[in-house]
């Protein structure tokens, strides 16, 4: 079997043995090679956290940003170069906590990128406090009486905001995760893939066994084109539905709405600035004009 061009030899991976990040990493590599993508055309953008280290272990371009700020960077890259395959990925704390506001508005803008969230229902890098998706009653070194806040339902939120592609996967099902990722990356528009991922060190409740017992793959009869049905499915919690909940094609993307690529498909870095036009514009709006 030929080597996966996205594989990178990493002698020191900063994840605990058994971490759900490992099968996600393999599923991402398999999805990318399965789509016949060139590693030079793929850009991974992440924030801060254990999940945010995934791009370090792939042979692609990548950008590590501030905590919770993967989506605005990825959106900017998409707006500057529509020829790239953009993936923003990080953990549930980074994407739904610090990055929650960016999540909401990325859905509204519909940039052509994939948002992958490693959803382990806990903050792993900072030693186990509750995340936005932690279940009620979950006890941590900080929430020692148990979580009292309502857990965030990211897929329901995304469908409510009319995201054009919403799916949920389970890291323990690598093939299923790979296939969902391939569909998400191929989708033209904003794609959310929430991946249920065990944290073997700081979350002893939501384990591989727990996720297997409390989730199920959507039946073949599920229609991902029906938004009302998708939203109803997204509210199910026992079992948690896995698969593509909602998908709508043909919607204009963020970069298409910008209008700057309609007459000139070249990415911005390949264009020379029109100095005369810029000077005229500056003088027109100058107080000294």
**Tens digit of pLDDT for each residue in 209-256?**
999 999 999 999 999 999 999 999 999 999 999 999 999 999 999 999
Burial of 209 (0-12, 13-18, 19+ CB in 10 A): exposed
pLDDT at 216: 97
Closest alpha carbon to 67 in 43, 91, 87: 91
Please answer whether residues 80 and 268 qualify as being in contact, where contact means their C-beta atoms are separated by less than 8 angstroms: yes
pLDDT at 289: 53
pLDDT at 95: 96
Summarize the confidence of residues 4-9 as an average pLDDT: 90
Helix/strand/coil for 195: strand
What tens digit of pLDDT does each residue of 108-151 get?
999 999 999 999 999 988 888 999 999 998 898 889 899 999 99
For residue 236, the enclosing domain spans: 21-284
Q: Is 3 within the bounds of a domain?
A: no
Q: Is 11 within the bounds of a domain?
A: no
Query: What is the spatial distance between Cα 148 and Cα 199, in angstroms, rounded to a whole number?
Result: 21
pLDDT at 248: 97
Summarize the confidence of residues 57-67 as an average pLDDT: 93
Q: Is 13 within the bounds of a domain?
A: no
Question: Tokens in use for 123?
Answer: 């903050």
Strand order in the sheet with 240-247: 61-64, 42-46, 85-91, 114-119, 191-196, 165-170, 240-247, 215-217
Query: At 1, is the pLDDT very low, low, confident or very high (cuts 50, 70, 90)?
Result: very low
Is the pTM higher than 0.85?
yes
Residue 254: enclosing H or E segment and its boundaries?
helix 254-258
Q: Is 126 within the bounds of a domain?
A: yes
What tens digit of pLDDT does each residue of 173-201 get?
999 999 999 999 999 999 999 999 999 99
Question: Tokens in use for 214?
Answer: 């409390």
Number of structural domains in the chain: 1
Q: Is 15 within the bounds of a domain?
A: no
The domain that holds 117 is classified in CATH as: 3.40.50.970
What tens digit of pLDDT does each residue of 78-109 get?
999 999 999 999 999 999 999 999 999 999 99
pLDDT averaged over every residue in the chain: 93
């Amino acid at each position: 079997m030929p080597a996966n061009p996205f594989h990178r030899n990493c002698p020191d991976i900063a994840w605990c043995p058994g971490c759900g990040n490992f099968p996600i990493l393999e599923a991402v590599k398999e999805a990318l090679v399965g789509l016949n993508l060139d590693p030079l055309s793929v850009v991974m953008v992440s924030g801060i956290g254990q999940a945010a280290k995934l791009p370090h272990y792939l042979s692609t371009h990548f950008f590590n940003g501030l905590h919770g700020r993967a989506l605005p960077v990825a959106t900017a890259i998409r707006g500057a170069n529509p020829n790239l395959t953009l993936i923003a990925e990080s953990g549930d704390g980074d994407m739904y906590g610090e990055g929650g506001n960016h999540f909401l508005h990325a859905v509204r803008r519909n940039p052509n990128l994939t948002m992958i969230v490693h959803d382990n229902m806990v903050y792993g890098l900072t030693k186990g406090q509750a995340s936005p998706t932690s279940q009620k009653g979950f006890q941590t070194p900080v929430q020692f009486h148990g979580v009292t806040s309502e857990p965030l339902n990211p897929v329901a939120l995304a469908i409510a905001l009319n995201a054009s592609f919403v799916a949920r996967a389970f890291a323990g099902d690598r093939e299923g995760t790979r296939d969902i990722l391939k569909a998400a990356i191929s989708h033209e528009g904003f794609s959310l893939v929430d991946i249920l991922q065990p944290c073997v060190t700081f979350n002893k409740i939501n384990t591989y066994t727990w996720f297997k017992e409390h989730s199920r793959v959507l039946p073949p009869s599920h229609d991902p084109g029906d938004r009302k049905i998708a939203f109803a499915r997204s509210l199910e919690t026992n079992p948690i539905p896995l698969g593509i909940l909602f998908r709508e094609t043909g919607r204009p993307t963020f970069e298409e709405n910008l209008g700057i690529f309609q007459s000139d498909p070249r990415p911005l870095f390949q264009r020379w600035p029109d100095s005369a036009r810029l000077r005229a514009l500056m003088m027109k709006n100058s107080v000294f004009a």
